[in-house]
Amino acid sequence: MTVTKTDAADLSATELLAEYEAGTLSPVEAAQAVLDRIERENPRLNAFCLVDEETTLGMAREAADRRARGATLGPLDGVPVSIKDVLLTRGWPTLRGSTTIDPAGPWDEDAPAVARLREQGAVFVGKTTTPEFAWKGVTDGPLNGVTRNPWDASRTPGGSSGGAAAAVAAGMAPLALGTDGGGSVRIPAAFTGTFTIKPTYGRVPHYPASPFGTLAHVGPMTNTVADAALLLDAICGPDGRDWSALPPPDVPFAEDGPDDLTGLRVAFSPDLGFADVDPEVAAAVAAAAETFAELGAKVEAADPGFGDPVEEFEVLWFAGAAKVVEHLTPEARARLDPGLREICEQGARYSAQEYLAATARRMELGRIMGLFHERYDLLLTPTMPIAAFEAGVEVPPGSASPRWTGWTPFTYPFNMTQQPAASLPCGFTSDGLPIGLQVVGARHADALVMSACHAFERARPWPALGGLGVVPQR
């Protein structure tokens, strides 16, 4: 097919690469299409905090020249990608959503995932919004304001990678880099009808080390599983700056898996034994679990057998937040997001013994899940117990907790255990808002999670459900 410049913004990375190979589209045309889409949609959604058209088009022209010479740098050469504004990017400020960071820099270093993409010739579109220091599960803050959901601009896209998810869902770049310390790629993927995977900790090198410690992962955010596989392959490359990085996988994630799931042992837990779930979400996720059974998996109802670890997670997370801001002057602290300032004060009061007790609970969760995955290959849950709520607030109306951790019970446990966990769209609420299915695997079973998601996506294609390129304008 021949695509127009406007159509190109709606193509997946896989489709763009096919067009490049056929000579029916150039990286420059693709880059201009997403820049045009950003110009149209970003004022409404606030997904990008930095757009540098000159740099983007320069990278695209270089990619087009390499293709003309048959000298591409890698599988993603010429593909547009956005970068969450917590990941260092050479030549661009990384302000982490905060007024307390000096935009002057210097900005002379790439984070590992950014470096791998630059080496492959990907085209950098800009930096996406995040709450201040990526501290919460929605995306708003003192520096960049409120980011909104493409499906309904009155709603939040989630967070903290909310800008990345909104950009992908609205066709402002087919690929995005996000980070996840307690659900920060999976929450917005569920709320915006996009795909993501939080890989096993260490699968994607991370530098500088997160102040939230080994809770924080880097992950791809895309519209399709195939695109996420391409991006994950690109960013898994080793980097000596991360002492905890894993070796590259033996087999590329982009290789197609089986069409069915015959023989796979799958546990379905609708509530992990402790979460309250909206009935519409519960019904959609139960139907998704039935699809796994139809694909040949042996699906059983089973809970992992742990209680809500929210108190221990908050000790780890709030202490990390306190570490983030420990160097700030009183004047700078006064400019912080009020909620962030509150958890930093709480985190600074924890003792070493309280931190070690939370770490011990984390290790116990890891033991429980390790044994659980001796019985089951995968665990299915809702990604979120609710659909997207009002933008600009930390919690939905009626929340029993004032903190974002009160409405994200399915995500943070698997940061504590460092397991791979994906979110893929599986339906809609009666209001037309996306619902996400979470697919969790044992540590290091990233390929199995991706393969299962491939099979589900083929059986339940998102375009047939009303996603991918038909986001309503509200």
**Residue 123 CA from chain centroid, whole number:** 19
Helix axes 13-22, 27-45, angle to 10 degrees: 150
**Residue among 160, 161, 269, 451 flagged as catalytic:** 160
φ, ψ of residue 267 in degrees (nearest 5): -95, 135
Q: Return all residues near 127 (Cβ < 8 A) that are at least 6 apart.
A: 48, 49, 50, 82, 83, 84, 85, 89, 92, 93, 94
Tokens 């067009």 sit at which residue? Answer: 19
**Residue among 82, 84, 210, 423 flagged as catalytic:** 84
Taking the C-alpha atoms of residue 17 and residue 234, their distance in angstroms, rounded to an integer, is 15
**Residue among 161, 184, 210, 269 flagged as catalytic:** 184
Tokens of 386: 């609710």
Taking the C-alpha atoms of residue 373 and residue 377, their distance in angstroms, rounded to an integer, is 6
Q: Which of 412, 425, 424, 422 is nearest to 449 (CA)?
A: 422
Active site residue 98: no
Taking the C-alpha atoms of residue 105 and residue 420, their distance in angstroms, rounded to an integer, is 34
Taking the C-alpha atoms of residue 429 and residue 82, their distance in angstroms, rounded to an integer, is 28
Active site residue 184: yes
One-letter amino acid at 306 equals F
**Residue 307 CA from chain centroid, whole number:** 25
Q: Which of 446, 20, 18 is nearest to 233 (CA)?
A: 446
**Residue 369 CA from chain centroid, whole number:** 22
Taking the C-alpha atoms of residue 74 and residue 118, their distance in angstroms, rounded to an integer, is 10
Taking the C-alpha atoms of residue 271 and residue 278, their distance in angstroms, rounded to an integer, is 10
Active site (catalytic) residues = 84, 160, 184
